[in-house]
């Protein structure tokens, strides 16, 4: 399937989410970037709008993005993967069935090998206790409403950590 056709098939859904001006901008950026290769990012958030927004915006920057609205729906917790396929994770704190911190702890218990520092919690309500625990675990924290440039900078740092880990 050609890249143009693949993008064209996605356009109706994106138009509904972000408007025509964004779609035109996205197609132009993808043409200039010359592809979709990039780091695999999981976005785990029970808010469909946040999942959709991050998927669109991060895909436009060349990342391969998988979204899940429930942490228990991720492939590793469903038993479809024995190890984690994500290279970076953006995880909401307050979600159904399991909070984001418990989700990250469960992944660690299952030996999910995401590079230290390549996991982040997104939350509207955080406490000093949560910040201490996240720092102890090496997990970044973004406060809602988050700034996309801050997430982009964090993902660029994630790529550097991956490059460094592969060089060792």
- Residue 123 vs residues 75, 93, 134: alpha-carbon distances, Å: 23, 5, 12
Q: pLDDT exceeding 70 applies to what percent of the chain?
A: 74
Helices (H), 19-147: 20-33, 48-60, 75-78, 100-109, 128-137
Separation between Cα atoms, residue 104 and residue 51, nearest integer Å:
18
User: pTM to 2 decimals?
Assistant: 0.75
Pairing of strands 88-92, 64-68: unpaired
Read off the pLDDT of residues 111-130 as tens digits, 9 standing for 90 and up: 888 888 999 999 998 889 99
Half-sphere exposure of 18 (CA within 13 A, CB side): 18
Average pLDDT over residues 82-105: 91
Domains belonging to the chain, first-starting first, are 1-35 (no CATH), 37-167 (3.40.50.2300)
Question: In terms of C-beta distances under 8 Å and separation of at least 24 residues, what long-range contacts does 105-111 make, across chains too?
Answer: 105/137, 106/71, 106/77, 107/76, 108/137, 110/76, 110/84, 111/83
- Quick: pLDDT tens for 8-51: 455 455 444 444 334 334 433 443 343 335 899 999 999 999 99
State the pLDDT at residue 28.
36
């Amino acid at each position: 399937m050609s890249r143009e056709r693949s993008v064209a098939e996605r356009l109706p859904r994106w138009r509904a989410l972000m408007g025509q001006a964004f779609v035109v901008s996205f197609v132009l950026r993808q043409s200039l970037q010359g592809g979709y290769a990039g780091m695999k990012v999981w976005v785990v958030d029970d808010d469909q709008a946040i999942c959709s927004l991050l998927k669109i915006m991060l895909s436009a920057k060349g990342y391969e993005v998988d979204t899940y609205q429930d942490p228990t729906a991720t492939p590793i917790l469903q038993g479809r993967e024995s190890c984690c396929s994500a290279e970076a994770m953006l995880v909401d704190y307050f979600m159904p069935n399991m909070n984001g911190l418990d989700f990250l702890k469960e992944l660690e218990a299952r030996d999910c090998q995401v590079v230290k520092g390549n996991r982040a919690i997104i939350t509207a309500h955080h406490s000093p206790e949560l910040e201490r625990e996240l720092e102890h675990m090496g997990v970044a924290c973004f406060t809602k409403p988050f700034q996309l440039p801050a997430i982009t900078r964090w993902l660029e740092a994630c790529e550097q950590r991956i490059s460094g880990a592969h060089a060792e």
